[in-house]
Structure 1
Amino acid sequence: MSQQQVETAAENPPAGVEGADPTPRSPREIRLVMIGLVVAMLLAMLDNLIVGTAMPTIVGDLHGAEHLSWVVTAYTLATAASTPIWGKLGDLYGRKGSFLTSIVIFLVGSALSGLSQSMTQLIAFRAIQGLGAGGLMVGVMSIMGALVAPRDRAKYQGMFAAVMALATVGGPLAGGFITDHFSWHWIFYINLPLGLVALAVIVVTLKLPKVRSTAKIDYLGAVLLTVGITSLVLITTWGGQQYAWGSKEILGLAALAAASLIGFCYVEQRVEEPMLPLALFKKRNFSMVSIIGFIVGFSMFGAVTFLPLYQQTVQGASATNSGLLLMPMMFGMLVVSLVVGQAVSKTGKYRIYPMIGTTVMAGGCLLLSTLGVGSSSFTSACFMVVLGAGMGFLMQITMLVAQNSVELKDMGVASSTATLFRTIGGSFGVALFGALFNDRVTATMKAAGGSGAVKGSGQLGPAQLRKLDPAVQDAYHHAVSNGIHTVFLWGAVISLVAVAAAVFLREIPLRGGPGQQAEAQLEGI
């Protein structure tokens, strides 16, 4: 794109595009809107984590333990499947309206979940919650994209890293406290006052231009994408757990996912207003940060799942404070994310941070792979800080680069796609790491002659372990350590793909910096 074309684009932004020529916002106005956005993001992230510690009590009240996993799966499925749809609706019909709608749906789902009288009802109402949660995540990011230029956006996005850290650490603790001192129903009811605050703040403070679109919604594309995403999430949820990886159920889901996604790609090239414009992936930066985001989700959710297991089983940490076990990783991520956000806002340079972040993340996984039976809690905490620091370089930068790589009219699609890749990466990470972990633990116990005592050893809890002979306990500690070694060694190897993707990023000037007011159209990046 020539300089003359850039200047022309800036002087004549696309008509009818929300945020194509945004009115400058004062820091006070942005801070007020941020209150609502931060509360909304906290709701979306906290709700899935807060349920875990309450599940034993919920099952005791509602029975239906055989459907236990669906309380979480229904929420995750609905969130993942609705994410790209919310992004497109915001681009077509206005981000404020779609965001407010998602908050209302989330609150309705929360109220109904709290009123549930059976597991079937709870699962159905959790799915409604998940539908709203998909819009919350996308809405927060795309509204930020409409309000604040990328050059200034980085310093605000560090707040979202803080929300993620708070939700990850505080979610399980809050769930346990509310369940013990009030009732499990209140883990859902607590969303109502918080959600109403977010709703009121957004209604009063958020001012965006009206959007009128005559484009038709790509219903067929939406259905095919939903079926494809749902199939992928079910594969990663059920594979190796409820069904064997080679079972007809998993193979059938894989075939359905492949057919749906191939059909989706075919449809998207032929409709007037595609649900997810495939042309976005022709932009190098957008494709590279999508890969990086996938691997960040892969590594982060793998760490969140298996590190507490190692610390509780091998190091003897209390399960009650399992959320606190991840504090070092979240601390590293939070501090680095805030520092990087300020640096990007001051300099406008960002390419170096994904390169550093992916390298540090790979190094953190490699360090964690060295944990053994004799490793101290201090050692594991230090290694977790390294992994968290690597993620801190990446968490917000990947979203920033994705949004800066597209036209403003596609801000919602860019935000939803970045969120979706991270979500799917997390699902695949937990599934693959879980298979590797269980296989390694089982193989180690067989070699030690203790497999019969700990059948299903990957699911053996600390309380069960204490009932076994000391020799078997020692063998199991070594087995879990070997499983952790395998998980994070593969995590380090897979992280190298992200390192390669970061190298291929290009330093495209961020919109909003000095002399960059004309960067409204970024064709061919």
Structure 2
Amino acid sequence: MSLRRLVTNPVLLLCLPPGFLIIYAKFSDILGRKFLLLVAVAFFTVFSIVCGSVSGMTQLIVFRAFQGIGASGIYAMVTVIQPELVRPEKWGHILAAVAMVTVVSSVLGPILGGLINDHGSWRWVFLLNAPAGALATAMIAFLMPTHFPNQGHPEAYVHLRAKFSRASLARLDLLGAALLLAATVLVVFGFEEAGSRYPWASAPILAALVVGAVLFVTFLFWERVVGRPHRVQEPIFPLRLMKRRIFAGLMLVGFLTGPPFMTVLINLPQRIQAVDGVSPFDAGVRLLPLLLASPVATAVAGQLVTKLKVPPFYLAMFAASLQMLGIGLCSSIPYQSGAALYGYEVLMGFGFGMGLISLIIYAPLVVDREDLAVTMGAITQIRVLGGTIGLAIGATILNNHLASHLPLLLTPTEMQQVAQSLSFVNGLPDATRDAVRQVFADGYNSQMRAMLYFSAATWVSAALLLWEKKPRTVVDVKI
């Protein structure tokens, strides 16, 4: 993997440390939202600067993982903080504001990233985070109340020194955090590398998946022990929550939404490059309909829930239907994408945006305030884990398809060059180039059909587990 590919691969930043999402969320209940958010921003900013200054691949991989720890913390804390900023009837405004920020970043991200990648040094991808991180740190430090979200409640005030007292630190489930983190890293590694760097049946993959599964079972056993009455420690994930049907439904729907979302986000630009023969920058620009539709759907969902009191259940079902329709249409593209793809992207973007935010809106309706942070962290983490597994499944489908069809068209040397750079396809003779592009198109369509099954499972799970005779609305919020 080249430095440029490692730098510009958006999955690596999120998938390297996914176990930290729920850990940040739970620890913020004890150490405070503001402190954990500052820690996350500091990690992200400092290690962004370090990544932009390294001189070798190994250093970049290591420090990019630390940068990802900060990124996962920012993602987790912003998700947790959103519903605590205002009263439930004002959620629509907060969601709309965050959606607008997402719109701007979604537009500027691919454009600036492509320009930097094509015309400048890859180091600026990291170094530009320094001034942004410094500004964010200053704003959080000076504008965010120290006792958020408990300002105005003197009985809830806890001084910073008290938060790090022996009694306070004893509440941290450090062993549970270590078990969850180790299990998640091993499982993510196994699914990320299976079928690409290592065969599925290879010793490294089997060892990672088996050990990761054992550690996850151990984590569940430990959480049951910690969750007993009169224990000082607070479990990272209270297992009692899984006894609630709707909570279990949110977790399952989040997990099943992850594979289609991540596969479309990562593999659709690759399809455009391989089949349409465009540059990475142009492929990123062509993804804008999806990137823009998703935050717009988030803002619309927020207004529907708060202004019109529409139950999140209906939003979740509508979103799952749009997602299914968009992915089904996307899996039927015969060859080059054409203008129809933009319409399919809008359908998928609305489905993903409305579906993901409906799960976040659902959380305060089904859990008490003391469980809200860990619930939102768990939903976010399970979706990332599902996305990682979906990427592995999609990569296996594509690689198997290419391995069985490309040798009929290309020499081993040409296949190696195609594997290193999709732009090599553009230099092949016309007849061979078109045949190779058709093979790629069929392979990516097979990926999408597999994701269609996940989307159908999402719809069924939401219908069965989230349904109620009287669906909950924002007036039923428990925080």
Q: TM above 0.5, one fold? A: yes
**What is the 5 A alignment of 1:310-389?**
310-348=271-309, 349-373=311-335, 375-389=336-350
Aligned-residue offset at 1:81: 2.4
1:283 matches 2:244 = yes
1:109 to 44, 47, 57: 47
Q: Could you say which residue in structure 1 is the equivalent of 2:447?
A: 487
- Which of 63, 66, 69 is the equivalent residue of 1:128? 66
In 1: Cα distance, 2:9 partner to 2:352 partner: 29
Where in structure 2 are there 5+ consecutive unaligned residues?
Answer: 151-156
1:478 aligns with 2:445: no
Find the aligned partners of 1:460 and 1:118 in 2 and give their Cα distance.
20
Relative to structure 1, the CA distance from residue 325 to residue 149 in structure 2 (aligned partners, 3 Å threshold; closer, same or farther) is same
**C-alpha distance in structure 2 between counterparts of 1:428 and 1:451, whole Å:** 31
Classify the secondary structure of the residue corresponding to 1:398: helix
The normalised TM-score by structure 1 is: 0.79
**1:257 matched residue in structure 2:** 212
> Percent same amino acid at aligned positions?
27
Deviation at 1:180, TM superposition (A): 5.7
User: Displacement, 1:187?
Assistant: 2.1
Whether contact under 8 Å (1:106, 1:128) holds in the other structure is yes
Deviation at 1:291, TM superposition (A): 2.0
Match of 2:112 among 165, 170, 174: 174
Q: Determine if the alignment matches structure 1 residue 223 to structure 2 residue 195.
A: no
- Change in CA separation of 1:71 and 1:389 when aligned onto 2, cut-off 3 Å: closer
1:82-481 pair list within 5 angstroms: 82-178=20-116, 183-207=121-145, 208=148, 209=150, 210-211=157-158, 214=168, 215-271=170-226, 272=231, 273-348=234-309, 349-373=311-335, 375-445=336-406, 448=408, 450=410, 452=412, 454-455=414-415, 459=419, 461-481=421-441
In structure 1, the gaps of 5 or more residues are 1-54, 60-64, 521-525
Is residue 435 of structure 2 the alignment partner of residue 497 of structure 1?
Answer: no
What is the rounded CA distance, in whole Å, between the counterparts of 2:8 and 2:286 in structure 1?
A: 26
Q: Distance in 1 between matches of 2:323 and 2:84?
A: 30
Kindly provide the CA deviation profile for residues 408-447 of structure 1, in whole angstroms up to 9, marking residues without a partner as x.
122221121121112112211211111111212333335x
In the TM superposition, residue 245 of structure 1 has moved relative to its aligned partner by 0.5
Q: 1:388 to 1:76 in 2, by over 3 A?
A: closer
- Mapped contact 2:114–2:280 kept (Cα < 8 A): no
* Cα shift readout 1:2-52 (whole Å, capped 9, x = no counterpart): xxxxxxxxxxxxxxxxxxxxxxxxxxxxxxxxxxxxxxxxxxxxxxxxxxx
Amino acid in the other structure paired with 1:289: L
Deviates more, 1:462-471 or 1:194-203: 462-471
Looking at structure 2, the residues matched to 457 and 480 of structure 1 have their Cα atoms a distance apart, in angstroms, of 15
Question: Once the 2 structures are TM-superposed, how far is the Cα of residue 468 of structure 1 from its aligned partner?
Answer: 2.5
Structure 2 distance, partners of 1:298, 1:161, is 22
Q: Is the 8 A contact 1:161 1:395 kept in 2?
A: no
Tell me the distance in 2 between the aligned counterparts of 1:201 and 1:329.
31
Post-superposition offset of 1:181? 5.8
AA in 1 matched with 2:277: G
TM-score (norm 2): 0.86
Shift in Å at residue 229 of structure 1?
A: 0.3
Matching residue's letter, 1:320:
F
- Distance in structure 2 (CA, Å) of the matches to 1:76 and 1:329: 19
> How many Å apart are 1:169 and its aligned residue?
4.5
Cα deviations across residues 117-161 of structure 1 (Å, max 9, x unaligned)? 333332222222112112111111111232234443244224444
Measured in 1, the distance between the counterparts of 2:86 and 2:412 equals 59
What is the CA–CA distance in structure 2 between the aligned matches of 1:71 and 1:491, rounded to whole Å?
21
Aligned equivalents of 1:130, 1:465: Cα separation in 2: 33
Change in 2 beyond 3 A, CA 1:376/1:190: closer
| Contact persistence 1:360–1:389 (CA under 8 A) | yes
Q: Offset of 1:341 from its aligned partner?
A: 1.4
